[in-house]
A = this chain, B = another copy of it.
Amino acid sequence: MGRPRTALLDPERITTTALELLREQGEFSLPQVAARLGVRTGSIYHHVDNRAAVVELIRARVCAAIDADTLGSGPWDEAVTAWARSYRAAFAAHPYAVALLMTTPVRAPVVLEQYERAVRLLLGVGFAKAEVMTVITALENLVLGSALDLAAPETMWELPDDTTTPLLAEALAVAGEGAGPGARRADAAFDLALEAFVRHCRDRLHTAE
């Protein structure tokens, strides 16, 4: 058959299809992506180095939704809070991709650039040079930990026989009322942790001055 007049594939379409498969079945394979695009598996390698590169494309797509402008203006505590919320919301929009993205290091320039901005903001507002990375890391842990919870809120807790953990079962039931299964609890937990952390940083900064 040879080369078509206009390319059948490109990184965009590969990424979109992989995300589709992730949403539908929680995972994806290159043969599946190829089949859905009406192409042979090997063809994918003409547009992408390997499977890991597809994962990075997905990360870039997901993280593109993070609003880093918040890091450029306003009071630092509000800026950092808004950034963390936006960061988490980006993952929340693609919960089925969280498991895939969580275990590989951050290489996406888009994301690294935002960390650069965060460092600049915190340095400018008076945090000690040796302390800045600790604060940012803690904030990142908070966001990623919450994102993990978001990945599969309903199935994250699999109680075998409720007789062994009655209090846990009841607490889960109470926490789950209102919105979706575990979504409300997950949101509340993130809000609580984020507020606690930012407040603590604020206190720290003031007593240091």
State whether A105 touches B142 (Cβ < 8 A).
no
A189 to chain B, nearest CB (A): 4
- Stoichiometry, copies per complex: 2
Partner of A193, one of B116, B185, B186, B197: B197
Cβ-based interface call for A156 (8 A): yes
Contact B197 A141 (CB under 8 A): no
A99 near B: Cβ within 8 Å? Answer: yes
A157 CA to B137 CA in the complex, in Å? 11
Q: Which residues of B contact A156 (CB under 8 A)?
A: 105-106
**Quick one: given A140-B149, A141-B193, A165-B115, are A133 and B174 in contact (CB under 8 Å)?**
yes
Residue from the list B116, B148, B172 in contact with A141, Cβ < 8 A: B148
Contact mask for chain A residues 158-171; partner B; CB cutoff 8 A; 1 contact, 0 none: 11100011111011
Instruction: Report the nearest B residue to A128, measured CB to CB.
Output: B174
Whether the pair B144, A148 counts as a contact (CB closer than 8 A) is yes
Say yes or no: A196 contacts B201, CB within 8 Å: yes
Task: Say whether chain A's binding surface is mostly helix, strand, loop, or mixed.
Answer: helix
Pairwise interchain contact B112-A185, C-beta atoms closer than 8 A = no
| Chain A residues with a Cβ under 8 A of chain B | 98-99, 102-103, 105-107, 109, 112-113, 115-116, 119-120, 123, 129-130, 132-138, 140-146, 148-149, 151-152, 155-160, 164-168, 170-172, 174-175, 185-186, 188-190, 192-193, 195-197, 199-201
Other than the given A137-B188, A141-B190, A145-B148, 20 more pairs (CB < 8 A) read A98-B103, A105-B152, A109-B160, A109-B164, A112-B157, A119-B168, A120-B167, A123-B171, A129-B171, A133-B172, A133-B174, A133-B175, A133-B185, A135-B192, A137-B185, A138-B193, A140-B145, A195-B200, A197-B197, A200-B200
Q: Which 10 interchain pairs have the tightest Cβ spacing? A: A145-B145, A196-B200, A141-B145, A133-B175, A137-B189, A99-B103, A138-B189, A116-B165, A138-B193, A119-B167
